């Protein structure tokens, strides 16, 4: 059985609390021959700043490079609001994304049947929803140069951001989209603004050519990103994989997140290029939520987003598909039984804390794995 090298970076606030629930799953899987996971742990964010005056050390970065996957909790909190900008807690996460060249950000929006009423939309629109927003993460307007504010000298200033994409950047994110779709409902919707942006024209052209050349078996649709946003709330179930650039992806993935109800439920993955020899991609898995300082230390954080991030890791980094399916099913079953943390509490349900939610999911996972 291959050894899977995992680097655990719990971070700050509720990060260590939710990561503890994943550690239990890993220990159980190791003990029952469901994988050989070798784990190392490191500091990141504010906790790393307290110990080393940086938000991630070079030694931890070396471990991240050597690992098959990184599991990340959350960073930040008011305690570090006034630390220098370059060493603020979030800088550790940005360095991981940049140095590991994680250009593909996957955010699934899955509505668990038991939580369909927690969505801002009507139950029938979101029940059974299972889509992925795939966002290009290392290019586009957030990084393009020039990026300036110039004083025009007449009481006016001019701000410039530059939206820039090269063919290879669009092609590689497109390839991730089509490959993902092949393992799902075989449909990709590409979103851009080719009616007003040159990057949109190139995006559309490259996606179309890539589809013709390599992925004709997958259905490809194009939508303008603004009407795509409208369609996401009007009829979200029409989608399977939505692929889009960094800026539109930032917004569309937050819209999709709200379809599912709660921040404590949302996992994500960021993937890099496949290694030339092994075909393995560098990968980082993390919940979408932050360090939730308001509830940190109280034992009430919802660990589901972190556990679902681990399920994505099993699926995408280790190809442990049955285990990933079982873990996701275990989460759905526990919710069906009316067991809830405070953030997703509903009438008639039983409220539990972080540890009990983790234990209950583990027990359900054991049953499904038997």
Out of 226, 237, 325, 366, which one is annotated catalytic?
A: 226
Residues in 170-229 that interact with ligand NAD by CB under 6 A: none
Cα distance between residue 290 and residue 252, in whole Å? 19
Decide whether 112 or 165 has the Cβ nearer to ligand NAD. 112
Decide whether 204 or 340 has the Cβ nearer to ligand NAD. 340
Residue with structure tokens 């960073």? 75
- Give how far the C-alpha of residue 357 lies from the chain's centroid of Cα atoms, to the nearest Å: 21
Decide: is 56 part of the binding site for ligand NAD (CB under 6 A). no
Three-state DSSP class for residue 163: coil
We find the least distance from the C-beta atom of residue 74 to ligand NAD, in angstroms, to be: 4
Decide whether 211 or 289 has the Cβ nearer to ligand NAD. 289
We find the least distance from the C-beta atom of residue 86 to ligand NAD, in angstroms, to be: 16
Angle (CA) 263 70 105, round 5°: 55
The count of residues interacting with ligand NAD (CB under 6 A) is: 21
250 assigned to active site? yes
50 assigned to active site? no
282 assigned to active site? no
Residues in 116-135 that interact with ligand NAD by CB under 6 A: none
Decide whether 68 or 286 has the Cβ nearer to ligand NAD. 286
Per the CB < 8 A criterion, the answer to whether 7 and 71 are in contact is yes
We find the least distance from the C-beta atom of residue 302 to ligand NAD, in angstroms, to be: 3
Assigned token pair, 286:
């993390």
Report in angstroms the alpha-carbon separations of 311 from 13, 36, 319, 320.
22, 15, 10, 9
We find the least distance from the C-beta atom of residue 254 to ligand NAD, in angstroms, to be: 11
254 assigned to active site? yes
We find the least distance from the C-beta atom of residue 76 to ligand NAD, in angstroms, to be: 3
Out of 49, 193, 285, 326, which one is annotated catalytic?
A: 193
Q: What ranges make up the beta strands (E) of 66-197?
A: 69-74, 104-110, 130-136, 144-151, 157-162, 187-192
Report in angstroms the alpha-carbon separations of 226 from 134, 206, 235, 274.
16, 20, 14, 32
Residues in 252-311 that interact with ligand NAD by CB under 6 A: 263-264, 286, 289-295, 301-302, 305
Cα distance between residue 336 and residue 284, in whole Å? 29
Out of 161, 250, 325, 359, which one is annotated catalytic?
A: 250
Out of 5, 24, 142, 185, which one is annotated catalytic?
A: 142
Decide whether 82 or 195 has the Cβ nearer to ligand NAD. 82
Edge to edge, the sheet with strand 3-11 lists 36-41, 3-11, 69-74, 281-287, 267-274, 104-110, 130-136, 241-244, 187-192, 219-224
DSSP state of 2: P
- x-or-dash pattern for ligand NAD, window 71-100, by CB under 6 A? ---xxxx------------x--x-------
We find the least distance from the C-beta atom of residue 287 to ligand NAD, in angstroms, to be: 7
Query: Which residues have a Cβ under 8 Å from the Cβ of 111 and sit 6 or more positions away?
Result: 119, 126, 127, 128, 129, 130, 259, 260, 261
81 assigned to active site? no
Decide whether 79 or 366 has the Cβ nearer to ligand NAD. 79
Decide whether 93 or 181 has the Cβ nearer to ligand NAD. 93
Per the CB < 8 A criterion, the answer to whether 265 and 212 are in contact is no
DSSP per-residue codes, 72-86? EEE---GGGTTS-GG
Residues in 314-353 that interact with ligand NAD by CB under 6 A: 343
Binding residues (CB under 6 A) for ligand NAD: these are: 14, 74-77, 90, 93, 263-264, 286, 289-295, 301-302, 305, 343
Residues designated catalytic: 142, 193, 226, 250, 254
């Amino acid at each position: 059985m291959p050894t899977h090298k995992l680097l655990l970076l719990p971070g700050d606030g509720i990060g260590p609390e939710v990561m503890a629930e994943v550690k239990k799953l890993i220990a159980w899987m190791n003990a029952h021959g469901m994988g050989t996971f070798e784990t190392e742990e490191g500091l990141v964010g504010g906790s790393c700043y307290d110990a080393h005056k940086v938000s991630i050390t070079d030694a931890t970065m070396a471990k991240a490079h050597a690992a098959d996957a990184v599991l990340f909790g959350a960073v930040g909190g008011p305690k570090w609001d006034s630390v220098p900008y370059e060493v603020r807690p979030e800088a550790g996460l940005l360095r991981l994304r940049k140095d590991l060249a994680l250009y593909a950000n996957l955010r699934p929006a899955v509505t668990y049947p038991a939580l369909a009423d927690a969505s801002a939309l009507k139950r029938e629109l979101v029940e059974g929803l299972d889509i992925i927003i795939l966002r290009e993460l290392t290019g586009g307007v957030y990084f393009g140069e020039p990026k300036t504010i110039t004083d025009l000298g007449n009481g006016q200033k001019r701000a410039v951001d530059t939206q820039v994409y090269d063919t290879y950047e669009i092609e590689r994110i497109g390839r991730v989209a089509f490959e993902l779709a092949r393992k799902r409902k075989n449909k990709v919707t590409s979103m851009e603004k080719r009616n007003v942006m040159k990057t949109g024209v190139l995006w559309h052209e490259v996606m179309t050519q890539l589809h013709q050349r390599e992925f004709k078996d997958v259905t490809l649709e194009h939508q303008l990103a603004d009407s795509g946003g409208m369609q996401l709330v009007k009829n979200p179930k029409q989608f399977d994989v939505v692929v889009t650039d960094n800026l539109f992806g930032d917004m569309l993935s937050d819209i999709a997140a709200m379809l599912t109800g709660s921040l404590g439920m949302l996992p994500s993955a960021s993937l890099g290029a496949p290694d030339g020899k092994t075909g393995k991609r560098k990968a980082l898995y993390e919940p979408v939520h932050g360090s939730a300082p308001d509830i940190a230390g109280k034992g009430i954080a919802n660990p589901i987003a972190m556990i679902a991030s681990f399920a994505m890791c099993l699926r995408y980094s280790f190809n442990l598909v049955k285990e990933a399916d079982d873990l996701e099913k275990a989460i759905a079953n526990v919710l069906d039984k009316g067991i809830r943390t405070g953030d997703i509490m509903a009438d008639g349900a039983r409220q539990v804390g972080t540890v009990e939610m983790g234990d209950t999911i583990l027990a359900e996972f054991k049953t499904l794995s038997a």
